[in-house]
Structure 1
Amino acid sequence: MLPLEKAADMMGVPASKIVHLVRDGKLIALRSAEGRVIPGRYLDDDGRLNRFVPGITALLKDGGYSDEEIIRHLFDNDDTLPGRPIDCLHGHLAREVMRRAQAMAL
């Protein structure tokens, strides 16, 4: 988990950018003893925000899923995928994960 300020530093953007993404429903921030944090897996290896994370988050929110349900969906193992959906968003199965999220949101 990354505090918003640290995530912003890693991404090379102001912390307000992260706050806006959270407020606009494109990222989910959780509360911790350190303040608001985002999962480090939201970022690619180069420190950039994974391009699919805002889309899948907004898609599932628009479909009526709660923040907790979205986090659970992204970070729980899926037996029909090789691992967790969040990990697949970093590889060649990203479009499949997005397609499944679209079907879930209907």
Structure 2
Amino acid sequence: MTNDAPSDWLSLPELVEVTGEPLGRVRRMLDERQLVASRRFGAPRVPALFLVDGSPLSSLRGTVIVLQDAGFSDDELIDWLLAPEESIGVAPIESLRAGRKSEVRRVAQSLA
């Protein structure tokens, strides 16, 4: 993945600001897999696309769990969600944001 623009990734303090939630709640969102962070930039950062109107994308958690069950690390599943997926025609995160979670999860399950 070459999507390294800092504006596309939110640090934990930025997540606190965007979500309006205290840091403890933001950390709980990460622990509960409502959001997924990468440490490839040092401190944990979350792709901004994983949020909609200041809240975690509702269909993200179940998709993350499917990918984890398939053996994906956090960085690998973030990369898969953000990269164009040939069988879907767009990046999986775009399909999730468009409300097409069944299609994304079907492809994710086939990766196991």
The 5 Å alignment of 1:7-86 reads 7-31=15-39, 32=41, 35-44=43-52, 46-86=53-93
Distance 2:55 2:33 in 1: 18
Unaligned runs of 5+ in 2: 1-8
SS of corresponding position for 1:58: helix
Counterparts of 1:69 and 1:24, CA distance in 2 = 18
What is the RMSD of the two structures over their aligned residues, measured on CA atoms? 1.9
Segments ≥4 residues shifted beyond 4 Å: none
What code does the residue aligned with 1:7 have?
L
Q: How far, CA to CA, are the matches of 2:34 and 2:57 in structure 1?
A: 12
TM-score (norm 2): 0.76
Deviations 1:42-85 (A, max 9, x none): 011x2221001122112211232112221221111112223100
Alpha-carbon spacing, 1:74–1:43, altered in 2? closer, same or farther (3 Å): same
Q: Is the 8 A contact 1:74 1:85 kept in 2?
A: yes
1:19 positional shift? 1.4
Letter matched to residue 26 of structure 2: I
The one-letter amino acid of 1:84's match is A
Q: Which residue of 2 aligns with 1:95?
A: 102
Cα distance between partner residues in 1 of 2:99 and 2:57: 13
Retained in 2: the 8 A contact 1:26–1:58? no
